[in-house]
């Protein structure tokens, strides 16, 4: 797959670059450039990112960072079975538990929420950092909702991290998930409160909390571009109607102006015909 010239491979994380040092230099550079493309496209063009991840995987399948990148690219394309296999491979290579929450979410994606809940209660969770534990809580709550256990999902999300006033990278998503669960349970007033809190914490627009809040408040957004197009269309219609009316008026005036001339021509024709008739009468008498 083509890679833009401005992508050198130096953009990758230093830990990943260190992993790639086990490869020949040229190969390491090729793998690095493909990994950069995966990271660049995964949010806006998941299919493109997946394509680059497959190239990197063919080049260096024994590098944990490559297996992890391939897993996330597959996950972004909802290829959960493939993603789970790549995450497991990466975990075997590194021995870390960082991927445990996303592995559990893959189980959800495969229609196995019970398995995800089992993973949420596994000893590996205690080895996760704070961000990982919050992520695991989000996955567990999602699994509860998958099983129709809304109240249990709400309880699962209730935690010191949710109650904290400090804003962390996970705060907006945690508050959003809690608000969404409350709304699903019919607790609209509380849901509105937590959507508002999610908006406060969502500094980079990672959720649509503001839209959900506006929806609850009965606010409707108008597409300004579509409105402008409608106005332009209306103006064009009005202009066309004006032109047609003008042409019709001119035609009517032209007809009225031509009427006297037509009348005079008709009268002249009648006089000529009468004269010809008069001239013909003596000839008829002579024949008699």
* pLDDT of 270 above 60: no
Q: Which residue has the higher pLDDT, 237 or 278?
A: 237
The whole-model pTM stands at 0.74
* Confidence band for 219, pLDDT divided at 50, 70 and 90: confident
* pLDDT of 241 above 60: yes
CA distance 156 to 170: 16
CA distance 117 to 132: 15
- pLDDT tens per residue, range 94-114: 999 999 999 999 999 999 999
Task: For the chain, give every domain's residue range.
Answer: 1-96
The pLDDT value recorded for residue 32 is 96
Q: Which residue has the higher pLDDT, 164 or 235?
A: 164
**Section 84-95 average pLDDT:** 96
**Section 31-47 average pLDDT:** 96
* pLDDT of 124 above 90: yes
One of 1.20.120, 1.10.3470, 1.25.40, 1.10.287 is the CATH number of 1-96, namely: 1.25.40
The pLDDT value recorded for residue 223 is 58
* Nearest Cα to Cα of residue 141 among 124, 161, 165, 169: 161
The pLDDT value recorded for residue 227 is 58
Q: Cα-Cα-Cα-Cα dihedral of 29, 33, 39, 40, to 10°?
A: 150
The pLDDT value recorded for residue 221 is 59
């Amino acid at each position: 797959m083509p890679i833009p010239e401005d992508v050198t491979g130096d953009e990758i994380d230093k830990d990943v670059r260190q992993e790639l040092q086990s490869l020949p230099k040229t190969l390491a550079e090729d793998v690095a450039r493909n990994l950069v493309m995966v990271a660049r496209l995964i949010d806006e063009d998941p299919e493109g990112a997946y394509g680059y991840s497959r190239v990197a995987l063919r080049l260096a399948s024994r590098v944990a960072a490559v297996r992890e990148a391939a897993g996330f690219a597959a996950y972004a394309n909802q290829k959960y079975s493939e993603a789970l296999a790549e995450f497991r491979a990466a975990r075997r290579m590194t021995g870390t538990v960082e991927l445990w929450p996303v592995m559990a979410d893959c189980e959800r994606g495969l229609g196995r929420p019970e398995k995800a809940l089992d993973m949420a209660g596994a000893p590996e969770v205690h080895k996760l950092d704070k961000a990982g534990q919050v992520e695991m809580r989000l996955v567990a709550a999602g699994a509860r909702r998958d099983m129709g256990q809304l109240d249990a999902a709400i309880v699962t999300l209730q935690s010191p991290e949710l109650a904290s006033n400090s804003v962390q990278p996970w705060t907006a998503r945690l508050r959003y998930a809690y608000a969404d669960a409350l709304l699903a349970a019919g607790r609209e007033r509380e849901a509105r409160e937590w959507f508002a809190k999610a908006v406060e914490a969502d500094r980079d627009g990672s959720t649509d909390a503001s839209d959900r809040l506006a929806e609850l408040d009965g606010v409707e957004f108008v597409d300004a571009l579509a409105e402008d197009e409608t106005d332009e269309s209306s103006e064009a219609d009005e202009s066309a109607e004006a032109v047609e009316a003008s042409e019709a008026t001119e035609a009517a005036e032209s007809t009225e102006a031509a009427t006297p001339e037509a009348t005079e021509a008709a009268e002249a024709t009648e006089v000529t015909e009468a004269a010809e008739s008069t001239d013909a009468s003596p000839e008829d008498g002579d024949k008699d």
